[in-house]
Amino acid sequence: MDMEYYSGLSFAIMIVVGFATVILFFGGLLFQMKKWGYGSEGYGKEGQGGSIGGFLKLLLSQIFDKKHEQGVLTTLVMDILIQRRILKRSVIRWVMHITIFWGWIMLFVFSMLIFVVELLHKYGGMFGETITHGRPIIESFPVIVTLNEVFGYVLLIGVLIAIARRLFITEVRNGTTFYDVFLTGGLFIIVITGFISEWMREGYFLEQYSAIAPPAALFHVVISLLFCVAMIPFTKYIHIIATPLSILTHGGGE
Amino acid sequence: MVRKEPSLTTERLTTSQLLEIDACTRCGECLNWCPVLEEIEEETFTPEGREGMTDKQKLDFSPMNKLTGMREMINKGYGLRAKLFGPKQIPEDDVLKLKDEIYHCTTCGICGTVCEASINTVEVWESFRRNAVINKRGPYGKQTGFVDLLASHNVFAADQEDRLCWVPEDIEIKDKADVAYFTGCTAAFRMQRVGVATTRVLQALDIPFTMLGPEEWCCVSVLIRTGQLELAEEFVNHNIDAMVKKGVKTVIYACAGCHRTSKIDWPKFYEGGDLPFETIAISEYMDRLLNDGTLQESDFDWKNPLKKRVTFHDSCHTGRHCGVYDAPRRIYDMVPGAEFVEMARTRELQRCCGAGGGIKAGVSDLALKMAQKRVQDAELVNADIITCTCPFCRRNIMDGINAMDTNIIFKDQQEILAEAMGLDLTLPDNPYIAKQM
C-alpha cells in the first residue's frame, strides 16, 4: 500500500528525505543567523560574537522601527509580495522574478498540502472516499492538479526569462558566476523534471514511459526538496530569506 | 591546533550589513547606474594596476561584485566549512584587490537607490573601509593625509583663527541665535564667495544667525567617507557642544557634504543619538519660511534678472542621502530671468559628479572624468549655467569645465540668488584670496 502514495513513491523514502530537508534547512538557517550575529548592534559598536538571539532582537527592533515611513504590512505587501521596487526598474525582470516567486511559493504550498492530506489519510483515516487507490494521491484532487500545472508553467516562464537574460544580455552574461548558474540551473532542472514525470503518467503524451514515472517523480521530488528547501541557507537561494528581511529592516518603499 | 583568524573579519560591519550582503540577488540593476563602473567600462578611466582588464574583470568594480566579493570572503571566515575546519585563508593580495575596488566609489548611493533588495550600500562600503583601516589595509592613496590635515581642525591645514576672515564687515553675526550657519572648510578657505553669498542673502532676508567661527571644526565627512574615524567622535562632539553653547535650534548648511554628515553621521557618534538641534539645507530652510509665511517672495528684492538657462545638479549628499529635491528648485523658480531646465538624470537618479567618497583626493583622474560627464549632461540641455548646493561638487565640476572646451559656467545656488538680488559679493582682503577656486 505504501507504494500507492505520492506519485507511487515509497512513503518511507518521502518521510526520510522530508525530515533530512527540514533538519538541513533549519540547521542551515540557524547557522546563517549565527553568522549575521557576528556583526555589531550598531555603527561603531562591538560585534555580538555570533549571537542568534542578538540578531533576532535587533532584526525585530529594526523591522518595527517607528521611524519607517510606511507600516510593516504595507512593506510586506507592496515590496515583498508585489515587489514594486523591481517593477519600478524593469518590467521584464519583474515578470521574471514575480513568476519565479509565486510559482515557487504556490507549488511549495500545494506539495505541502498533498503531503498533509497523505498523512491524514494514512494515520487519521481521513479522505478514504476521496482517494483513488493505486494512483498518485494528487490525482484525487483535480483542482490541485490543475493549479499545480498552472503554477508549474508560471515558474517555467520565469526560469526561461532568467536563462535568456543570462545568455543573451551581454552585461548580464559577463556578470554571471557559478553562484548564479547554480540557482537558475537548479530551478530549471526541477521544473523540467516535474513536467516530465507528470507527462509520463497515464493520459499524457509520454505515457509509453509510465513504467519509469515513479522513479522520475522520486528524482523530481528529492531534488526539489534538496535544491529548493534544504540548500536555501547554503547557496544563492539564501536571498529568499535575506532579501525580504533586508527590505523589512529598511522599511521598504519605492 | 590553534585556529587562524578569518582573513577578512566582520569587524565594524553591523548585523544588518552582514544580512544585506547575503540579500544581494545579483539582479545587475546597479550595473546600469554606477558612474564609476561607467567610466571603467568606457575605458575613459583605468584603475591603477588594472590595465588590460576584460569586460568581466571590469565588473569587479560594480557594486554587485563588490558585495559578492565581501560575501565570499566572509563565508571563508565564518561559513560552515570555516566552522568545521577553521577559516580558509585568503591571499592578502585578494583582500587588497577587493579593498581597492571598494575605495573606487564616490559613495554616491545610486546603487542603493535602485537596489531591489533595499541594501544600504553606502553604509556597507563605509563599514568595509573602516574595517580596512583598522586592519592597516586602507585608506587609498592620498586619503591618508586627511588625518594629519585635521590636526588644524580643517581639511586645508589653515589657521582656525581665520575661519571668519572672509566675512564682510557689515555682516552681523549674532553671538547667540536660534539659527546657525555652518560654513564648512571649503567655503571658509577655498570658496569664500559661497560663504559671502550665503551670509549676504541671510542678512538681506532679515534672518538673524550665528556662526561658530574658530570653534567650527571640520564636519569630518572626509574621515567618515574613507574609514578613518579616530578623530571623528572628538570633532563631532566639539561642534555639537559649540552649537549648544550658542543656543542654536536650527543649523543651516550651504554645503551638501557638511549637511549630510551632520544629519546622518553625527548622531552615530553623539551620545543618545538625537542631536539637540535640527540640521537642514539652506534651501529647505528658505522653503519652510516661505511656506509658513515668515518670508514672502516679495522679500527677495530682485535687482538683476539672470537671463540664463540654468540646470541644477542635485548633489548626492543633499539629494539621495537627505532626500531634498524640491526646495532647491523652488529657489531657481523664483529667480527672475532664470530659464530652468532639467538634465536627463536628476533627483534620486542623478549622476554623481565624482567628487565624493574620498575620490577627489584618492583617485583624482577618475573624479575629473566623472565631472566632465556631468558637464556633458548639462551641455545636452543647452544650459548656460550648471548650479548646485555643494562647494565640493562645485570644485570638481569646475575642474571638469576647465578641462573641456565648453561655454558652460558654474555658479553656486547662493551666488545666483545673491547676484539676482544685487548683493555685493566682493571678498574682504584675507590670507586665502590667492587660493580661491
A83 touching B (Cβ < 8 Å): yes
- B14-25 pLDDT, tens digit each: 999 999 999 999
The phi-psi region of residue B141 (left if phi > 0; otherwise alpha if psi is between -120 and 50; otherwise beta) is left
Q: Any chain A CB within 8 A of the CB of B237?
A: no
**How does DSSP classify residue B338?**
E
B116·A83 Cβ contact <8 A: yes
Q: In this complex, is the C-beta atom of B261 within 8 Å of any C-beta atom belonging to chain A?
A: no
Residue B176 has pLDDT above 90, yes or no: yes
Q: Which residues 33-62 of A have a C-beta within 8 angstroms of B?
A: 35-45, 47-48, 50, 54-55, 58-59, 62
Those residues whose C-beta lies under 8 Å from the C-beta of residue B87, and which sit 6 or more positions away, are: B3, B4, B5, B6, B7, B76, B77, B78
What pLDDT does residue A5 have?
Answer: 44
Q: Does B220 touch chain A (CB under 8 A)?
A: no
Q: pLDDT tens digits, residue range B99-139?
A: 999 999 999 999 999 999 999 999 999 999 999 999 999 78
Averaged pLDDT of chain B: 93
Query: Do residues B306 and B338 touch, judged by C-beta distance below 8 A?
Result: yes
For chains A and B, count residue pairs whose Cβ atoms are closer than 8 Å. Answer: 124
Average pLDDT of the segment spanning A22-33: 94
Is A168 an interface residue toward B (CB < 8 Å)? Answer: no
In this structure, are residues B40 and B57 in contact, taking their beta carbons and an 8 Å threshold? no
Query: Residue A125: what pLDDT?
Result: 76
Are A54 and A41 within 8 A, CB to CB? yes
* Partner residue opposite B14 with nearest CB, options A39, A90, A177: A39
Q: How confident is the model at residue A43 (pLDDT cuts 50, 70, 90)?
A: confident
- CA pair distance A113, A239, nearest whole angstrom: 25
Question: Among A123-127, B165-169, B189-193, B411-415, where is mean pLDDT lowest?
Answer: A123-127
* Cross-chain Cβ contact A179/B268 below 8 Å: no
The candidate with the shortest Cα–Cα distance to A106, out of A162, A157, A144, A159, is A144
Rounded mean pLDDT, B306-326? 95
Is the CB of residue B121 less than 8 Å away from at least one CB of chain A? no
Instruction: Output the DSSP codes for B127-184.
Output: HHHHHHHHTT----GGGGHHHHHGGGTSTT---GGGTTTTS-TTPPPBSS-SEEEE--
pLDDT at A2: 42
Res B1 pLDDT > 60? no
10 Å CB burial of residue B266 (0-12, 13-18, 19+) is buried
pTM of the full structure: 0.90
Task: Locate the chain B residue with the closest alpha carbon to A242.
Answer: B23
The answer to whether B57 faces chain A, any CB pair under 8 Å, is no
Query: CB–CB of B23 and A242 under 8 A?
Result: yes
Mean pLDDT of the A46-61 span: 91
Tell me what percent of the residues of chain A surpass a pLDDT of 90: 46
CB proximity under 8 Å: A 7-26 to B: none
pLDDT at A93: 94
Interval B42-100: pLDDT, tens: 999 999 999 999 999 999 999 999 999 999 999 999 988 888 899 999 999 999 999 99
- Number of residues assigned to chain B: 437
Within B232-281, where are the H helices? 232-245, 256-260, 266-269
Kindly write down the DSSP assignment for every residue of A208-232, as one continuous string.
GGGGGHHHHHHHHHHHHHIIIIITG
Instruction: Write out pLDDT tens, residues B337-387.
Output: 999 999 999 999 999 999 999 899 889 999 999 999 999 999 999 999 999
For A91-100, A177-186, B174-183, B250-259, which range has the lowest pLDDT when averaged over its residues? A177-186
